[in-house]
Structure 1
Amino acid sequence: MAALPELEPGTLPPEAAALRAEVRAFLAAADFEPRADCWLTGADPAFSRALGARGWLGMTLPARYGGHGRSPLERFVVVEELLAAGAPVGAHWIADRQIGPSLLHHGSEEQKRRFLPAIARGECFFAIGMSEPDAGSDLASVRTRAERDGDGWRLTGTKVWTSGAHLAHAICVLARSEPGSERHAGLTQFLVPLPADGVTVRPILSLSGDHHFNEVVLDGARVPDALVLGAPGNGWAQVTAELAYERSGPERVLSTFPLLRLAHERGALPAAALGRLAARLWALRQASLGVAAALDAGRTPAAEAALVKDLGTRFESEITAAVREHAGIEPDPGSPDPLARALAQAVVQAPGFTLRGGTSEILRGIVARGLGVR
């Protein structure tokens, strides 16, 4: 058996305290209603541009690409404060969290100069075309085809649960470029600017009527060779590395924190219940910070990130359950009571917590492989 996943404690840099205070002051003056699950359901392009103007997007990107050359731990501080406040960060979230680092590692010089400065300014939003109908969390079952067409490719297939595609300026599509290849081979990532001929974005409304998911239909959409991300056929390795960024961040712990804070301010939770949640939150936060430190050191902690995501998303539902049990209010999205509204948001989003970014079963399989028992 391999060694257990081990995370070195993450230590925030000395400048973190001043940075945290700066972000809190900005948020205190900003005009928005805090939302549970704000990184998915709260999208305000103007707010994203304001963050970009302050240097809080593309923080870890090099200055030559419009970034700010700061550490992942400094970015962790900014992201943590934004999520804790329930700020409307959904528009830029995917571009800043994972497309930027992926472009930096795998993109051509032309791609980096085209997309990265705009991402850092909060002026270029991305969607991710991974999930497909009937495929669940099994990314290796991709059926979207990429067929050669002169000096480019034609993409044909359907992607679903594509967050923010209706706001995105581009989508990163995973497609099978080598028919008949082994499941984890013959996959390629493509950068598809939006809108585009042959690409249709259709809304998928949530139970509450909110629109953040989409179906994206690719009907022979043409992508030039210049917009292939990385090497053709290397898509699986690239996606696997990218998912460490997606699965390990504080959003996997803090999606329902605005609800917990409101309940605490209201005195709606018994001390014992609040203490249990606070202790779990602190432990998970330290684990997430440890993954950020590993990324800062240049490692790819796939098993550790999967573990944080699995534990974190279960914890988020525990917050929702505790408030429903003890607060004595009904979830109501139209209520004048902020706590009832936040509870309604959390209840509607809760079914997706353990699905997005990989189901709990998939994540536990990754951890098992990391332990050498699968």
Structure 2
Amino acid sequence: MALNVHNFPPTIIPPHAEALRQEVKAFIAEHAGHIPPHRRARTWSGFDADFSRAMAARGWVGVTVPREYGGPGLDPFSRFVLVEELLAYGAPVAAHWIGDRQSAPLILHYGTEEQRRFFLPRICRGELFFCIGMSEPNSGSDLASVRTRAERVEGGWRLNGQKIWTTYAHKAHYMIALVRTSGTPQDRHAGLSQFLVDLSLPGVTVRPIALGTGDADFNEVFFDNVLLPEDALVGTEGNGWAQVNAELAFERSGPERLYSSLVLLDLWASLLGENASPEDAARLGRLTARLAPLREMSVAITGLLAAGQSPLTEAALFKDLGTEFEQTIPSEIADAVAAAPDRTPDPELLRTLAYLMQLNHVFSLRGGTREILRGMIAKSLGLR
């Protein structure tokens, strides 16, 4: 089906979700108000287990998980408001982020009743943190070419292979890994399955990858004859490709694809104040004008998710446009600073800007590269 404007229907966040906003703001001020902007610029890559557990105590982790599985049973709009406020401020949410955004919905939809009963309450209590096992060396965003393999053995599965660019694998308890259970990489989508991997098992090795920023959020993860129990399989064997695409709709559609540089933009705007030069005011206006419709796209996709749809192409389009925008913000502000050499820049602005200038190239890699996303969009439009 061709992509058209009706895939992004005008959507308004309902009053019950908006009512949550002030409560979230107060929580952030109490628990993260002391964090300076250059630290808040890490947004959803900032890991703080205590902060995540404080959120869990308020019922704000696994917010869409039904009450029968330990969650508050809120709708996607409530989660949007919660996430938007957390990311706009730059709260350190990485500890629970993957479990809340992807792992819990995946287990809820595809997991067995036993898996739901075991994992979902623990995610919602902030007891289990998750990471994603998708990318592999020499595969990039071409997930269908994965080589990591799980073979049936007596009592379960034997896992061998490697994952890379796995965020916070060194601090997570579990990984949901996309692996091959039959066929070869040439079979592409056929023969792929998803597994719950306890990262404390013998044979699992995690090696951090140091970034130029000094952070080590990413990791390589090696599996050497790791024995998984029979019930480690999520969903149906061989259905991993369909499952992971449903998962990626959650990963690509949220405001995190817009707000990775918002702390910097807010700081710069506040420093400009009412004395902004015409050039700076015009630059700020252009950035704000781009942000507003992109946010509306994310709200529209949230509405589609709330209606039970799986907006894969819409999420890919939004993610491509959103990450391009959030990459633009540090470059634009760097140009603004350089254009006024007679003014002494604010030190905190420079610290925040320096961090994001080193990191912003990553924004279009995580969650699927631009080339892969545009290929998906082109296919939806019938262009390939």
Aligned residues: 369
> Cα distance, 1:353 vs. partner?
1.1
- Corresponding residue for 1:7? 8
Provide the secondary structure at the position in 2 that maps to 1:214: strand
- Corresponding residue for 1:150? 154
- Corresponding residue for 1:95? 99
Report the more deviating stretch, 341-350 or 59-68: 341-350
Matched, 1:213 2:223: no
- Corresponding residue for 1:33? 36
- The one-letter code matched in structure 2 to 1:19 is L
> Cα distance, 1:3 vs. partner?
4.4
Report the more deviating stretch, 268-277 or 342-351: 268-277
State how far apart, in whole Å, the 2-side matches of 1:150 and 1:51 are.
Answer: 41
State how far apart, in whole Å, the 1-side matches of 2:187 and 2:216 are.
Answer: 36
State how far apart, in whole Å, the 1-side matches of 2:346 and 2:151 are.
Answer: 53
Provide the secondary structure at the position in 2 that maps to 1:87: coil
> Cα distance, 1:329 vs. partner?
9.9
- Corresponding residue for 1:171? 175
Residue among 243, 251, 255 paired with 2:256: 251
- The one-letter code matched in structure 2 to 1:91 is A
Residue among 312, 323, 326 paired with 2:336: 326
- Corresponding residue for 2:371? 361
- Corresponding residue for 2:208? 203
CA contact under 8 A between 1:37 and 1:255: conserved in structure 2?
yes
**If the length of structure 2 is used for normalisation, what is the TM-score?**
0.93
- Corresponding residue for 1:130? 134
- The one-letter code matched in structure 2 to 1:258 is V
**Structure 1 pair 177–70 and aligned structure 2 pair: CA distance change class (3 A):** same
CA contact under 8 A between 2:149 and 2:181: conserved in structure 1?
yes
**If the length of structure 1 is used for normalisation, what is the TM-score?**
0.95
- Corresponding residue for 2:244? 239
Provide the secondary structure at the position in 2 that maps to 1:361: helix
Segments of 5+ residues of structure 2 without an aligned counterpart are none
> Cα distance, 1:10 vs. partner?
2.2
- The one-letter code matched in structure 2 to 1:232 is E
What do residues 225-263 of structure 1 show as CA deviations (whole Å, max 9, x unaligned)?
A: 111000111100000110000011100001100000000
- Corresponding residue for 2:293? 283
- Corresponding residue for 2:66? 62
> Cα distance, 1:33 vs. partner?
3.3
* Structure with the bigger percentage of helix: 2
State how far apart, in whole Å, the 2-side matches of 1:17 and 1:139 are.
Answer: 37
State how far apart, in whole Å, the 1-side matches of 2:161 and 2:93 are.
Answer: 29
Matched, 1:350 2:350: no
Segments of 5+ residues of structure 1 without an aligned counterpart are none
State how far apart, in whole Å, the 2-side matches of 1:4 and 1:89 are.
Answer: 34
CA contact under 8 A between 1:263 and 1:327: conserved in structure 2?
no
Matched, 1:19 2:20: yes
State how far apart, in whole Å, the 1-side matches of 2:246 and 2:19 are.
Answer: 31
Residue among 275, 285, 295 paired with 2:305: 295
> Cα distance, 1:79 vs. partner?
0.1
State how far apart, in whole Å, the 2-side matches of 1:307 and 1:3 are.
Answer: 10
What do residues 191-238 of structure 1 show as CA deviations (whole Å, max 9, x unaligned)?
A: 011211110011101112211000000001111111100011110000
**Structure 1 pair 62–327 and aligned structure 2 pair: CA distance change class (3 A):** same
State how far apart, in whole Å, the 1-side matches of 2:43 and 2:149 are.
Answer: 33
- The one-letter code matched in structure 1 to 2:336 is H
CA contact under 8 A between 1:147 and 1:154: conserved in structure 2?
yes
Residue among 280, 283, 296 paired with 1:270: 280
Give the RMSD, CA atoms, in angstroms.
1.7
